[in-house]
Structure 1
Amino acid sequence: MCTDLLLSNKKPWIFSASVFLFFFFFFSSSASMKIIEKIEQAQKDKHIAYSFEYFPPKTELGFANLIDRLGRMSQLEPEFISCTWGAGGSTHDRTLELCSTAQSLYGLDTLMHLTCTNMEKEKVDIALKQAKEAGIRNILALRGDPPRGHEYWTPVDSHFTHAIDLVKYIRQEYKDYFCIGVAGYPEGHIDCPDKEQDMTYLKEKVDAGADFIMTQLFYDSDICIAWIQKCRERGIHVPIVPGIMPIPTYQSFRRMINLCNVKVPAKVMQDLDAIKGDDQKVKEYGVKLAVSMIQHLYLDADICNFHISTLNLERSTRLILEALHLHTVGKSVKAGKVSPWAPIHDPSRAELWDEFPNGRYGDSRSPAYGEVTHSAGQIISTSQATLKWGQPELEKDIQNLFIKYIRGEINSLPWCDESLGTETGAIYQRLCEIIERGYWTVSSQPAVNGASSQDNVYGWGPKGGYVYQKAFLEFFVSDTQIEELLVRLTKDDSITFYATNQKGDFRTNVSDADEAQNAVTWGVFPGKEIIQPTIIEKASFEAWKDDAFELWKEWEEQYAPNSKSQKLLCDIGQRYWLVNVVHNDFQQPDLLFDVMLSK
């Protein structure tokens, strides 16, 4: 078990915004340079230049450790780094803090993402003003994603409905102070099926003042090359920077390409399908694929700039640069300056936190924690939602949808964007019984005691190992059932639980003194420490619960205001509790379900 971080209630490395600002101005207040100059110089010199993308982690520890990781990765010498912006400004403070720290502490030029959808003009003004005050000179101007399935959604500010509105506004208010980038879509924007129209929109953004284009992820280099050629033919001559995303896991890769509607060459899918049970091989394949894409674009299309979406992971990015001979193999990477709020630990052991990322219940210490491919779950267009989920009018209708999902009669729910994994077959019948009792499950796993890492159902990680699991369930339950359930769960000493509702009421049987990271999935592999990809704890549960309840609201917005379906979903979101239950005796696989179904 990784024990190099000493946890305490005081968390001395976590600083308030005011303390951060003190350190920011203490270390440096120098501004970054416009990155367009670096992009153009790399193209002129005909040498490969690279930059890194990060996102603000959801937990305090994850953010503190990202600052520490950023120090090591700065010695890989990226041309600049970028930081994503949460929908509606949800990560405003953290995005600004990450960009400012990268500049002041590590001397990195920064590109701050800024989205305008669901952002009032006042929020945009504040973000731009604070960016300038922090010395940030580069903005990636994006529309951002409106609530998925937005037929009945109303924008909060008519000033900003498209990225071009943001580009024009920045140029109007700040002239040429900011270098502005915009997004480009080699396969066409998912909301614009007409590719010619999409190209017109792109040219309009450039004509409005954009300095460069950064592409969405893709996995077919030929498609990107053909698209760049079309851009040039349409008179778009600003630099184009391809976005490269290494594959972290098979599951997250499938989720991302489905979410973004990205095409993948048949050969790549065949290769990945053949190794999907070996996470280590998938990660290695992802590195090789990224290397081959960069080489193809550089050698055959004269593209010199590449933006690597790191997903806050360190190892894959470093291996890509080593394979391209852009970073010396075996070179020691150590932080030049130590962040005053970063915990001290062995960097090589820190990689174990996210060697096998596991979504919302990965290790909350990891800088990559919270990366659920930028999507809490799945909400689809109104017409598709009605076709798949109907127009529920009673709680029983919702309950039946959860049962249909378990039975495979529908392939997704708002919280579950893929069909169930094969291991669910071991508990399929009991899950149906649990749902019929009013416990609507959104996540679960059976207990496993030492299955081979190559097992077709339970296996993960490198070969030659053994994997273990504690049984756990996560579900929604009515406010009329919650008290009786928690009393019953408290009677079993092997059970730990967390429960909360939309209002923020919170219940648990885990005392502050006993609060710890509860590993519910772990693996033992040759030549490695024990790896714990799935951890249940208060921090991760609370980080996830906001997204979980937000999805009730997004589902509600699929239906016309004041309709029976809209009122039903609104009522359920307000009344139901989210509960996570772990049975810690993994050698007794049936006990959790026995307790849940007892009278």
Structure 2
Amino acid sequence: MRVSEKLQKNREANGTSKATFSFEFFVPKTSQGVQNLYDRMDRMYQTHPQFIDITWNAGGRLSQLSTELVSTSQSVLGLETCMHLTCTNMPRQLIDDALQKAYESGCQNILALRGDAPITSSEWKPCEGGFTYAKDLVRYIREKYGDHFDIGVAGYPEGHPEEEASPKLVQYLKEKVDAGADFIITQMFYDADNFIEWCRQVRAAGIEVPIIPGIMPITTYAAFLRRSSWCQINVPEAFMAKLDPVKDDDQAVREVGTELVAQMCQKLLDSGYVTHLHMYTMNLEKACIMVLDRLGLLSEDEDIFRDEVVPMPWRKSLHPQRRNESVRPIFWQKRPYSYVARTSQWTADEFPNGRFGDSSSPAFGDLDLLGSTSIRQSPQRALELWSTPTKFSDIAALVIDYLHGKLKCLPWCDVALNHEVDTTMPQLLDLNKHMILTLNSQPRVNGASSADKIVGWGPNNGYVYQKQYLEFLLPKSKLSQLRDFVNDMPSLTYFAVDSADELHSNHPDDTAANAVTWGIFPGREVLQPTIVEKVSFLAWKEEFFDILDEWKRIMGENNHSESVALLESVISDYLLVNIVDNDYVSDGDRIYDMLQRLY
């Protein structure tokens, strides 16, 4: 959705003018930095930003990273994304390439900037075949793509390095808007009174598009002074009076800075000119969250967010070819990057209703989007997170730490645990303590409100249902007992497979999909967004054992031979099992009761 439409929707929702916010991220210089940024963006997604934007780096690999970040945040993370685009070092062909990639990724928002002079030059000059002013870039985008893109431009309440604040600068801004711009994002500032006066001048000049102030949180005293000096902005005396006495205490600087910036933001919101705050994150998390929390903008109770944030019980992609995706195998519930990567190149006939599809497809198993490694952490980070397990109980201890929230990810799980498992937490902990390693689960739900904060999803005024599901590792030696116990409980169906593809199942029709999550909503057909099926389970089996093999390789490269031997034994001696309890009505935990008998 276009940024201006999202802002308008917020203003109109239930007659409220509750403030909203967005985040800006820049492109890291290393591949691991990019990976860590994805993780940070994923966490910050939970605060419900209206959009994020990604800065632009012209030329070579950094330019490619800019477009990759836009595509991944849009398609994998499901974040409405705005891409910066500058005129600096950008001939028309490069601009065309960047716009086309943004268009193909589903991005509908561009921040069109002239850009700063290259480091090698003392003054700004257009490159050959490029544009001279931001208004020219705005006009070109509008002519080439019509109304597909919402186009933002920069505003300078305290002047530009090449032009002091003046009516002339406001006129330049009007020319950009007249060329087709839809919203304005301003440079950072700390002088609220000056900003409000500038807004008055902007409106007096006939500029009616949304004005979005750029907010720079205060993290350290040195960074505060450096950024203020670099942007040539005025720092009110009140800021210095409160920050200078604590300048040598970083924690105090952040606390005082948070209060100062939050007070400034509240003044902006009270002025009537502003309904949205754009946070310059500098790829950091804590300072922005502290400001938003101080302003009371982190509530999760607002219905205005629901249709965009929880349309499905899994992260919904905003890629144009995936917007209507309605079904996903439960095995990738906690590996959204892998799932989107595997299915990114599938055409509509190979990807019916969003299911994993036909294993005969030439695209089946493709992982080009995010590289071929199964573990999304660097080898060094993997060692820091998961150490060097030497016995199976060490791996079980990692899962227990994950369940307790001490770990945010595991080799086979990219996302942090949610509160859905709270009702089955004692059982999960007990299973792992008895060496039944749990990988994924969901509790039984029988007609919960779609507005429920933990299990709710989809439109308001509906009801959601879930069959209890558990995925785990089991020694091959216990397979015959498992099969006997499952036969005693007719409501349970299972798949069990080893690394050599020997499959066991009691499914009456193992070619059919078993819906494990569904919803009933007014005026709509039944939605069944999460399924278990044989083909996708076998595809997940391949990925899971690849993950263990990758983990083993990391251990071997770091000379941890006992860990290598352990993981080899897990790969050769254990089964990957999933069990569904198809009785979602009756009380009790039949899966746990059955597995207890295997102790």
- TM-score (normalised: structure 1): 0.50
- TM-score (normalised: structure 2): 0.50
Q: Which has the larger radius of gyration?
A: 2
**Larger relative CO (CA 8 A, sep 6+): 1 or 2?**
1
